[in-house]
Structure 1
């Protein structure tokens, strides 16, 4: 890793985001606590934050995403989720830090190297629920479907794809969506979603660093959550990253100015609200 190419691969982005969780957790007024984040992010995660343009100031959307997803995961569990299928789980320590039922089945899925690193760092820690580790390359359709069929054995299933879809091509997202519907028979799918406007803005500042590490941003459907309709999914809830940042007071320093400016142009305000969000999809069957 060099300053010119701080991200070596997609897995490195998990270390980057872990440092953002650590930054929030160490605040006296933290809205969530992840006591493992600093350890998981490690020196590489710190170096990525230092090397990225405006690295520390870019923490807010990741902090918002974590907080809102925590809320939705806990709500879905209260509504009856019995299996959580966490795809490209990276360094997500939710099974260790959230108040989860002991008999909840949590499937932590990632590539072998990332999975090995996570298990090594978390050795000696006790999860709150029944945690399983699955090494899998989700690009392999046969492997993916076998894993999804296994998840379906103990439903209802909640799927999490936090920070994953933006790195995939549209056809790969469509294939994943079909298999989650037809094979995993998932009831809920929790993900984050970007718009073309967000992709354009991020490309100006970050994409050269991410592309150098073979981790460019790709997926930002112009039709938003309607993209998933042909694969059997509909939007149940869209939590605007911008709106949620204002609600939990973790927005950019100039947020009041931008909020006022955008409200003077209603069309722009609507676009900003849907530029990025945390989405809960539900199975249409």
Structure 2
């Protein structure tokens, strides 16, 4: 999806590494996804642009330490114009980081990139600290496209660990689906497909800010559909923010006082 978006004349971002990272298997998976769903909405494209802009806001605030949890095939370390002195920690399973390194063997990151090969189900804070993460410095954390795959208690533990590692002034970006969206008939084909792929969606919430707000962080929630409409990319009328029971997702930008 990021590769296709990058080829559009009205693209929301440019990711010159996405096509290589996706490979034939990624393109086949996308084709199967589209065959199984009646409608493909630009959520990932909007989310990518939104988080890119949030990274830029963090740079402007002087943050130079970034952590990408479950980094996957994220190419931001390679494609964004990082300020000098920036360190980006990419945390993911060893086999994921190895596949990524193989596909990007000829590319060079635009920052100091530190790969942290560990499973988020284990003691990843220890691995992150051992890799050089400085908990006394302000950080920006990215949790993109992950929470829906986790159990509720794992989500709670993840945010508690982020809180424990974050200096005052740190920031956190994440996205999460609402309960009505997870339970909507329109999403059922996608959910069936994800279950067949071995990655079922488990978690949703209608109180996205509370996930980190209960740790004292200030959080601002953005509706990706509203942002997509603002950018001319949403095929439906947007619902008012106070509409109850509507299927929706959430993007959150939070900061620690």
For normalisation by structure 1, the TM-score amounts to 0.81
In the TM superposition, what whole-angstrom CA distance separates every residue of 1:134-182 from its partner, at most 9, and x where no partner exists? Answer: 1010111x33344257423462110001111111111111111111111
Matched position secondary structure for 2:133? helix
Name the residue aligned to 2:134: 152
Q: Aligned partners of 2:187 and 2:102: how far apart in 1?
A: 34
Runs of 5+ unmatched residues, structure 1:
1-19
Number of residues of Structure 1 aligned to a counterpart in Structure 2: 253
Change (3 A) 1:95 1:267: closer
Q: Aligned partners of 1:146 and 1:232: how far apart in 2?
A: 25
User: What value does the CA root-mean-square deviation take over the aligned residues?
Assistant: 2.2
Q: Aligned partners of 1:65 and 1:56: how far apart in 2?
A: 21
The aligned runs of 1:198-209 (5 Å cut-off) are: 198-201=181-184, 203-209=187-193
Name the residue aligned to 2:171: 188
Runs of 5+ unmatched residues, structure 2:
none
- Structure with greater helix percent: 1
Q: Is the 8 A contact 1:177 1:228 kept in 2?
A: yes
The offset of 1:214, in angstroms, is: 2.0
Q: Is the 8 A contact 1:53 1:206 kept in 2?
A: no
Change (3 A) 1:241 1:225: same
Structure 1 runs of 4+ off > 6 angstroms? none
Matching residue within 113, 122, 129 for 2:104 = 122
Q: Is the 8 A contact 2:138 2:166 kept in 1?
A: no
Q: Aligned partners of 2:17 and 2:23: how far apart in 1?
A: 10
Name the residue aligned to 1:215: 199
Change (3 A) 1:56 1:43: farther
Name the residue aligned to 2:26: 45
Name the residue aligned to 2:212: 228
In the TM superposition, what whole-angstrom CA distance separates every residue of 1:49-94 from its partner, at most 9, and x where no partner exists? Answer: 1111456952511110011111011111111211100010011111
